[in-house]
Amino acid sequence: MAVRDPVPPIFRRGLPRSARLTIFLLLTLALMVSDLQLRYLDALRQTLTVISYPLQIAAASPAEFFRNARAYFTNLATLNQENARLRAQQLVTARQLMDVGQLREENANMRRLLELRGALRERVIPAEIIFPARDPFSRKVILDKGSLNDIEPGSPVVDGEGVIGQITRVFPLHAEVTLLSDKNQAIPVTVQPSGLRAVMFGAGNGLMELKFLAANAEVKPGDRILTSGLDGIFVPGLPVAEVINVTRDSAESFARILCRPLGKVERSGAVLVLMRTEPAQQRPADEQALDPRRSTAGRIRNKAAAEASEAAEEGTP
């Protein structure tokens, strides 16, 4: 008995699959051979390439975007790290340069102090400025040497540039120095190069003033002021200040002469305390302040005022 085909004739398919595969393979081989020999599909291939190029770009854009984004953030993180490293290195280098500059300045100051120490005949005691005094109405600093180190009241104090002040109070472990720019300080000086003698007073604002000099005195900006040694305290020839401004008024008998101290108190660390060979009997600082006629500054002020009065009387017809 014959087996009947379950598929009705109306739904029968065409050629078998194997036959169709064979036909397509032969057709493909024929197209490949003909294209290889005749090159007639080049125009079609180029046209399809042009048409499909935007599609290729669109298909590749997401991958390219993510690749570029990853490279951007990677480079950004690397640059931030490099920037932070360079900033830290810059801070370290700046600090080293500051330290080198400070060491050079301290070295130069110490060298000048050694030269000054060799040129002085007086006994000197090296000291260090540890901090400024707490009194906001005076210009004073504190040294790390006191009476236990033979520091005496009234002793001059110098740094590598010049005179900075005078010991006013002494304690066992430290001493107080009143700067020349303090308004209660005075020192006899000579003006170079003219050799004119005068008295210099502290102005209280970091500057000093030459007083009781005639309006026609031979003083000009740039002149250097040296100690004269007339007070018996400061040895002669020590640098004190430099003239920065001279005001002459015909209505005034004396010129107004402002000077800048040469001693670098703000940058000085090491200083020298000059010890007098025959120290005078000193009164307490408070008592001297109450009786300015017997203090160093008071004596100088009174003497300068008397000389100025005599000069004014002599000049009056």
> Stretch 42-51: mean pLDDT, rounded?
78
Residue bearing tokens 């300015």: 292
Write the burial class of residue 277 (CB in 10 Å: 0-12 exposed, 13-18 middle, 19+ buried): exposed
Helix extents (H) in the chain: 17-38, 42-119, 285-290, 296-315
Angle at 261 between CA 259 and CA 266, to 5 degrees: 140
Query: Percent of the chain scored above 70 by pLDDT?
Result: 78
Question: 256: closest CA among 272, 245, 268?
Answer: 245
d(CA 289, CA 283): 10
pLDDT digits (tens, 9 = 90+) for 219-266: 999 999 999 988 888 889 899 999 999 998 888 888 999 999 998 877
Each residue's pLDDT tens digit, 73-114: 888 888 888 888 888 888 888 877 777 766 777 677 677 777
Q: CB-side exposure of 36: number of CA atoms within 13 Å?
A: 6
Q: To the nearest 10°, the Cα dihedral for 269, 119, 177, 306?
A: -140
Domains annotated on the chain, with CATH: 123-315 (2.40.10.340)
How many CB atoms neighbour CB 207 within 10 A? 15
Q: Where are the beta strands (DSSP E) in 138-216?
A: 140-143, 156-158, 163-170, 175-179, 186-192, 196-202, 208-211
- The amino acid at residue 39 is R
The confidence score (pLDDT) of residue 57 equals: 78
State how far the Cα of 313 lies from the Cα of 317, in Å rounded to an integer: 8
